[in-house]
Structure 1
């Protein structure tokens, strides 16, 4: 094991020596125009992204790779909700402790990937983003105000009104569907929650998950809730896996779980989804139970709608009878990979964020490790030469790994190397603000608390009912063909356009690499047709 640690340090040392040789020449320092008037204009962010993509194509190093390697056929975008750099550090140290190793001896799997960058996350109206505006940036390529999902040109949130088709921005997943690719969304949150909603919904209020809302401007106009938009806009997703079944119905029926739903309009959207699939004569399945899904024959399913909990799925460490994020991702890849034109899959470890909001570091770090297992499992499952994989976060959190504790100290323990001015040690995992902050009472000695319990709330400096997000840039890791697109500091809107470019989606359908990509489909389909013919003759004349 010590040899592994030495090897890692050697790689880092060699990288420092040879990076001037192998890295491309630096990009000119081009100042961004004043975005105050343009920040909600999708065209502005498209132009910014296209300039960076053009630099990639013209680069002396990456340009050669662009012109020679096969472009990606598939892509998986992993989002750790709230997984900032401090969370990655904490999860890495927890992984080391779980392996009885010292902090720094092991890395998370994606930290070994060849491309790493930092992503700016501010929204159109706040320096610190929420998940709705950041997911819209990552999937749709434009800045929006807080709480807004999939709508361009909206300066404020939460007002129900009609929006034209120009304002309703298509996500990269919808564009992939229009290009004949298979698509899927996998999450540990409700499928109508902010991040997955950006894949298909258009609303000024992310909280409008299941309640239709009447416009203050026109009492006869009703804004569609996010759940109903999944049925109308997301009917062509091949895989939908997550929680939130109660958002889709009010009363229990033959096609719903046996617990009351949360809708107030008597609509049964689950029944509507089944009708839409039957109308299209598709091989489909709706499932609410993890065990039933495990026993299903995936070869018979082209369209899967799995809602495995009434609300969010459990934190991974509390999971008993629910599929893990890794298992759900594996199911999705098995279904999506049958398409010779490729697939685009969004996978969200969404409950990292919920844990941080509650100052519950153990939940956050173990859910980060659950995301790592999903990434690791997918990496073994996919065609590495044709699959681009990206891991990033939508925003950071006010969690930190602090102090000067020894490397053998558990990341959830106290730092005994020094005492605070009140005479007590302090926690290595701590928060700037949140519900564990004290108002008018002195700080307790954390070493006497149950600090290793799953649901323990780490101490916070400022008392708030709900811990806030943080504005620091978040890491991005990429591997596979065209992973070099993500080289250097990025805006979160760039992730959407880099996805569209790599997969030859609108507006990049006529790029030179798309000819090679389309040719590979024809070869794959010809091989597929040949296998079908051989199989037919074998069964017809041999058996």
Structure 2
């Protein structure tokens, strides 16, 4: 018995010389953190692998939502809900399986969204800027791209008789959503204005055109996002007053409506709310001329825009009518844009919006037959630092701990005698190349438009190159473990859903 007690003391980290008594053991075992750890262990021990066929697959991509971004979003959401924040869990952080994804492109140590999205959607890595084509071609060579397409999960799902959808807060023609349905030598070929007459004659098609002319299976059932300008002629203005960009003067919105007379095209919240999923088999939504609004600004949109969760909700309702299942990509795309702008508050708010969309998908699907994956395409130069006390406002000034281990209630000071924020960037528009560093106040740091201070002055903050997380729930989710190449995500999905990657 004495020997067992000594072993227990050692296993609890108390040590034989630390006065490991029955009372100390009892106190440790009844400590809430100890109990929490035990509960988590018991849940892990009960976990069983689900090897059912994945009837449905939903892939969430938080564009630029690296691990530091997820952590800050978690704390921000927890603090909004009235807690300290650090102990909070976002919807997808409850998923039982996860892995780390290596995000580099074949020609880039720090990647872009075109190459990373292509890896996820096609199972091959490619060059920066290329969309769902292999890396044998040069960027911009659209004629070479015509012969080097890589099949996407959306195409394979359509050929398998499933319904498909893509939902994003960016332009629907932007790199990540485009990777599901288009093949392009340049992510910037969003409309025909970037293609030469010679390229058009050779058969090159812009990304918007490829969406409208997508011909696999019975076509895409749901496509929602921004980017109206790429579907309208340059001499035609949309309902919010902004002109299109197409030089061929084709109105692709009208062409879609002619192709799908029973489908619904919507451009604002009012039209979206009127869509009855039971009576709608095809839905096309373009809610802004360019990108949709940040979640923080959505209520100010001229025509009104649905949230990412609302779009996810309606998309699942429409796609679920197919007894053979569905594939859906949902992108929280503007997390990335806010980070590029050095504006953490909008990045974290959009991160919460994506977590809400994941929660919606969790509620509306069965984990026994639906594989949900949440990941990021890449990260940003975003960091959490400064030895702040637990519960310190994540968007505020870094405030430390006194000698007794209690909140100091005064901002930490740098060597220049000025405070600094808990969140910052390695580079970006928040840097100051001339003059002294600004003296930020708590009010400024937590304002909507505050740009976190950065080290290297750049007009736009850059992506970062470290691994990002993959969270998975549902059939074959246990395939996601360890450190994997980003293109592995395709192969795990293909196995779980029993698609035919050789078609």
Q: 2:104 — aligned with what?
A: 122
Looking at structure 2, the residues matched to 398 and 225 of structure 1 have their Cα atoms a distance apart, in angstroms, of 32
Q: 1:168 — aligned with what?
A: 149
Shift of 1:435: 0.9
Q: 1:446 — aligned with what?
A: 440
Task: Say whether 1:238 aligns with 2:217.
Answer: no
Task: Say whether 1:392 aligns with 2:375.
Answer: yes
Cα offsets for 1:265-311 (capped at 9, x unmatched):
21111122122224xxxx31111122111022221110111111111
Looking at structure 1, the residues matched to 37 and 279 of structure 2 have their Cα atoms a distance apart, in angstroms, of 47
Q: What is the aligned counterpart of 2:253 among 252, 263, 270?
A: 270
SS at match of 2:441: helix
Cα offsets for 1:71-95 (capped at 9, x unmatched):
2211111100000000011001101
Q: What is the aligned counterpart of 1:295 among 250, 258, 274?
A: 274
Q: What is the aligned counterpart of 1:152 among 107, 114, 134?
A: 134
Looking at structure 1, the residues matched to 178 and 192 of structure 2 have their Cα atoms a distance apart, in angstroms, of 15
Q: Residue 261 and residue 344 in structure 1: after superposition, are their counterparts in 2 closer, same or farther (change >3 A)?
A: same
Shift of 1:487: 2.1
Cα offsets for 1:84-120 (capped at 9, x unmatched):
0000110011012102211322111211111011111
Q: 1:183 — aligned with what?
A: 164
Q: 1:200 — aligned with what?
A: 181
Shift of 1:161: 2.0
Q: Residue 161 and residue 402 in structure 1: after superposition, are their counterparts in 2 closer, same or farther (change >3 A)?
A: same
Task: Say whether 1:316 aligns with 2:295.
Answer: yes
Q: Residue 181 and residue 247 in structure 1: after superposition, are their counterparts in 2 closer, same or farther (change >3 A)?
A: same
Answer yes or no: is the 8 Å Cα contact 2:195–2:206 preserved in 1.
no
Q: Normalising by structure 2, report the TM-score.
A: 0.85
Q: Which runs of 5+ in 2 are unaligned?
A: 1-30, 401-411
Looking at structure 2, the residues matched to 183 and 214 of structure 1 have their Cα atoms a distance apart, in angstroms, of 28
Q: 2:95 — aligned with what?
A: 113
Shift of 1:221: 3.2
Q: How does 1:87-486 map to 2 (within 5 A)?
A: 87-165=69-147, 167-214=148-195, 220-221=201-202, 223-233=204-214, 236-250=219-233, 259-278=242-261, 283-320=262-299, 321-417=304-400, 418-447=412-441, 450-486=444-480
Answer yes or no: is the 8 Å Cα contact 2:137–2:145 preserved in 1.
no
Moved more, 354-363 or 446-455: 446-455
Looking at structure 2, the residues matched to 472 and 358 of structure 1 have their Cα atoms a distance apart, in angstroms, of 20
CA RMSD of aligned residues (A): 2.5
Answer yes or no: is the 8 Å Cα contact 1:256–1:270 preserved in 2.
no
Q: Normalising by structure 1, report the TM-score.
A: 0.79
Shift of 1:249: 1.2
Answer yes or no: is the 8 Å Cα contact 2:238–2:244 preserved in 1.
no
Looking at structure 2, the residues matched to 471 and 396 of structure 1 have their Cα atoms a distance apart, in angstroms, of 7
Answer yes or no: is the 8 Å Cα contact 1:249–1:256 preserved in 2.
no
SS at match of 2:181: coil
Looking at structure 2, the residues matched to 390 and 106 of structure 1 have their Cα atoms a distance apart, in angstroms, of 20
Looking at structure 2, the residues matched to 219 and 474 of structure 1 have their Cα atoms a distance apart, in angstroms, of 38
Looking at structure 2, the residues matched to 124 and 329 of structure 1 have their Cα atoms a distance apart, in angstroms, of 32
Looking at structure 1, the residues matched to 343 and 238 of structure 2 have their Cα atoms a distance apart, in angstroms, of 36
Q: Which consecutive aligned stretches of 4+ in structure 1 deviate over 4 angstroms post-superposition?
A: 6-9, 13-19, 212-220, 251-258
Q: Residue 252 and residue 339 in structure 1: after superposition, are their counterparts in 2 closer, same or farther (change >3 A)?
A: farther
Q: Residue 162 and residue 379 in structure 1: after superposition, are their counterparts in 2 closer, same or farther (change >3 A)?
A: same
Cα offsets for 1:419-455 (capped at 9, x unmatched):
1110011110100000111112111112266111112
Q: Residue 105 and residue 231 in structure 1: after superposition, are their counterparts in 2 closer, same or farther (change >3 A)?
A: same
Aligned length: 457
Answer yes or no: is the 8 Å Cα contact 2:103–2:467 preserved in 1.
yes
Answer yes or no: is the 8 Å Cα contact 2:114–2:179 preserved in 1.
yes
Answer yes or no: is the 8 Å Cα contact 1:82–1:397 preserved in 2.
yes
Moved more, 345-354 or 474-483: 474-483
